Amino acid sequence: MNTQAILLSDTEIELLQKEVGKKSLMGQTIESSCNELDRFIELPLEVPGHGEAGGYEHNRHKQNYTYMNLAGRLFLVTGNQVYGQFVRDLLKLYADKYLGFDFHVQKNTNPTGRLFHQILNEHCWLMFTSLAYSCVAHTMTEEEQEHIKTLLFEPMLNMFTVKYAHDFDRIHNHGIWAVAAVGICGLAIGKREYLDMSVYGLDNNNTGGFLAQISQLFAPSGYYMEGPYYHRYAIRPTCVFAEVIHRHMPEIDIYNYKDKVIGNTIQAMLATAYPNGEFPALNDASRTMSITDMGVQVAVSVYSKHYGLDDNILGMAKIQDAVWINACGLELSNAYENAVKQRDIGLPFWPSVELNEGPQGQNGAQGFLRMQDKSGDVSQLVMNYGQHGMGHGNFDTLGITFFNRGQEVLREYGFCRWVNVEPKFGGRYLDENKSYARQTIAHNIVTVDEKCQNDFNVERADSVHGLPHFFSGDDSQLIGMSAFALDHYPDCDMQRSVFMLKLSDFDTPLMVDLYRIQSESEHLYDYSHQYEGQLVRTNFSYSTFSELEPLGRENGYQHLWKVAQGALGNSALVSWLQNNTYYTWVGTSSNKNDDIIFTRTGANDPSFNLRSEPAFTLRSVESLACLRQC
């Protein structure tokens, strides 16, 4: 069988060949990819046995598929025979060994693979290596092809669609990887039935498969409920498989499917990013994931080709400094090359946007306010008043983050895991993710009675959501958003309204934060602020403690050292220095006898899993109304 590369026509290959050695985004991407690949190819081939999640074996399998995926395309684009040989040899080695590996021992609820501890990773493996195979298969003998098919690809397809059939049709980000892998592999080895199965579901009745998934996973706004971090993970197979369907099942008209859901959700994902391209760590997410991630590169390239280009998309490409090596990326690369000849492409400036949540957009929203100061710097204010993000959800409805001058100022801790740090539980989620990072007190928000919202009950949290009150992001002088959380604490109705004001006396926008809490009974309120840097000044006196104790016993409080405390007068001023910028907070409440407590994470942390970070909390008894200025 004379297989053609699934995502590259002969004409496209010729066009890409012309980019080699050029200074275009595509030329640079090809060059840096070749350099990276060359270093990996120097190592001896290795197909290791079972290992820990995040351990050496796990990472080696991941590197193997990553570099086969690159090598397949670069073989066609550069004509370097070594790249083709690398894919053929390594696939053969996998085929020699694959059925000799038993399934991993199951350690959590995810089904296990033969290479990885969970099939999610084996899906990734299959998607990327199938694409690679399709690039080199025409250089293999019939016999060589059969070897790979019968001992490797077909057993995998069988595992995913028969042994784990119950998992294949699940509407979930893992499901997108599953169908993309199976569909693409089917196409690569000439078994189109797997492509059909992947697009329409095992039962061909729209309860599973790619079309069902993209119809149900995203809100009308395009927002993905697990947040940008998981969105950018899911967007890669979404875009890759969409492009495959576009080419091999044109009758579906995938890029117009469901009111352009693919383009819509790419836009929504990009619209969440901070001005420097990093994603706010909504839900338990990495603090360092940015639009330079490969998944987002693929998405931006796909968007450029199929939904059109503007200076924001070109600005994204500028930050990414790379494109997807295929026809979509080439379109973007050419457009960028032409644009920079005519004008300066600056950093992207996305408008303020409210992204609704839920299948019909009825479950609250995530708000993203942006304001540009005279110097061009963009301040961004993010508030969560939408859904709980399922198993990855933080208990932080009405929580905010604030970004200014290239840094997150009111900060999100992010997840408690050390990705790729093998001694830290294989890079997986640590206990402190639940005991601290997802707790209400870890956020920029009011915690009531030292408890977590919804009592840290995921099902309860999934059943409620925030209520949008208003969102006004267009004005040049005053923008704001407001929302309610009525179901998150017993006997407490909460409303938060946050604004950015452009005032002539201020170089940067003034942020105003109004918090209204109504309750029939007396409560303890902790209105906390996660900052970074050095405390510079307060307008009240405080005492630091000569010995440190945890602030509380549970709900995240057990992880906070109580470092200092002071009583405020009518209002409290706290100023700090973060890198080269001063920030000043002025706060007050409608109660008497409020305190400010300064804390630092690290208590009850027996394995140094937490980062040591400061925060301060306005602690108030009874009802509270706060005015905050940043």
The CA radius of gyration of the chain, in Å to the nearest whole number, is 26
Least Å distance, CB 549 to its own copies, is 5
Per CB under 8 A, contacts with its own copies among 577-606 are: 577, 598, 600, 602-606
- 13 or 41: whose CB is closer to its own copies? 41
Q: Is 611 in the site for its own copies (CB under 8 A)?
A: yes
Query: Any alpha helices (H) in 209-310, and if so which ranges?
Result: 210-216, 228-248, 257-271, 294-307
- 146 or 554: whose CB is closer to its own copies? 554
Among 89, 310, 475, 549, binds its own copies (CB under 8 A): 549
Least Å distance, CB 600 to its own copies, is 7
Among 171, 419, 458, 535, binds its own copies (CB under 8 A): 535
What's 121-186 look like in SS3? HHHHHHHHHHHHHHHHHHHCCHHHHHHHHHHHHHHHHHHHHHHCHHHHCCCCHHHHHHHHHHHHHH
Q: How far is CA 467 from CA 497, 499, 540, in A?
A: 12, 17, 36
Among 252, 390, 548, 586, binds its own copies (CB under 8 A): 548
Stretch that binds its own copies, among 313-321, 342-350, 353-361, 611-619 (CB under 8 A): 611-619
**3-state SS assignment for residue 316:** helix
Stretch that binds its own copies, among 20-28, 53-61, 239-247, 544-552 (CB under 8 A): 544-552
- Residue 315 near residue 347, CB atoms below 8 Å: yes
Q: Is 547 in the site for its own copies (CB under 8 A)?
A: yes
- 380 or 435: whose CB is closer to its own copies? 435
Least Å distance, CB 598 to its own copies, is 8
Element holding 531 (H helix, E strand): none
Least Å distance, CB 259 to its own copies, is 41
- In whole angstroms, give the CA distance from residue 116 to residue 102: 11
Q: Is 44 in the site for its own copies (CB under 8 A)?
A: no
Q: Is 575 in the site for its own copies (CB under 8 A)?
A: yes
Residues 6 or more apart whose Cβ sits within 8 Å of residue 63: 40
Among 544, 567, 569, 593, binds its own copies (CB under 8 A): 544
With CB under 8 A, what is the number of residues at the site for its own copies?
A: 31
Among 614, 615, 618, 624, binds its own copies (CB under 8 A): 614
- In whole angstroms, give the CA distance from residue 264 to residue 269: 9
Least Å distance, CB 447 to its own copies, is 22
| 292 DSSP 8-state letter | T
- 457 or 584: whose CB is closer to its own copies? 584
Q: Is the dihedral of CA 305, 231, 277, 478 positive or negative?
A: positive
Among 537, 569, 593, 627, binds its own copies (CB under 8 A): 537
**3-state SS assignment for residue 187:** helix
Q: How far is CA 421 from CA 59, 428, 430, in A?
A: 11, 9, 12
- Residue 219 near residue 355, CB atoms below 8 Å: yes
Least Å distance, CB 293 to its own copies, is 16
For the chain, what is the largest distance between any 2 Cα atoms, rounded to a whole number of angstroms?
83
Q: Which residue has the tokens 């078994």?
A: 191
- In whole angstroms, give the CA distance from residue 43 to residue 580: 44
Least Å distance, CB 507 to its own copies, is 12
Rounded to the nearest 5°, which phi and psi values hold at 404? -160, 140
Q: Is 504 in the site for its own copies (CB under 8 A)?
A: no
Per CB under 8 A, contacts with its own copies among 166-205 are: none
Least Å distance, CB 544 to its own copies, is 5
Site track for its own copies across 553-572, x = CB under 8 A: --------x-xx--------
State the helix-helix crossing angle for 56-78 and 119-136, rounded to 10 degrees: 20
Q: Is 608 in the site for its own copies (CB under 8 A)?
A: yes
Among 45, 99, 294, 536, binds its own copies (CB under 8 A): 536
- 4 or 581: whose CB is closer to its own copies? 581
Residues 6 or more apart whose Cβ sits within 8 Å of residue 627: 512, 513, 514, 571, 586, 587, 588
- In whole angstroms, give the CA distance from residue 130 to residue 69: 8
- In whole angstroms, give the CA distance from residue 485 to residue 385: 7
- In whole angstroms, give the CA distance from residue 329 to residue 530: 39
Among 55, 155, 550, 566, binds its own copies (CB under 8 A): 550
Quick count: other Cβ atoms within 10 Å of Cβ 93? 15
Among 160, 350, 418, 557, binds its own copies (CB under 8 A): 418
Q: Is 423 in the site for its own copies (CB under 8 A)?
A: yes
Least Å distance, CB 72 to its own copies, is 27
Among 45, 457, 612, 627, binds its own copies (CB under 8 A): 612
Stretch that binds its own copies, among 2-10, 88-96, 176-184, 533-541 (CB under 8 A): 533-541
- 497 or 571: whose CB is closer to its own copies? 571
Q: Is 421 in the site for its own copies (CB under 8 A)?
A: yes
Least Å distance, CB 601 to its own copies, is 11
Quick count: other Cβ atoms within 10 Å of Cβ 166? 9
Interface residues toward its own copies, by CB under 8 A: 418, 421, 423-424, 534-537, 543-544, 546-550, 561, 563-564, 575, 577, 598, 600, 602-606, 608, 611-612, 614
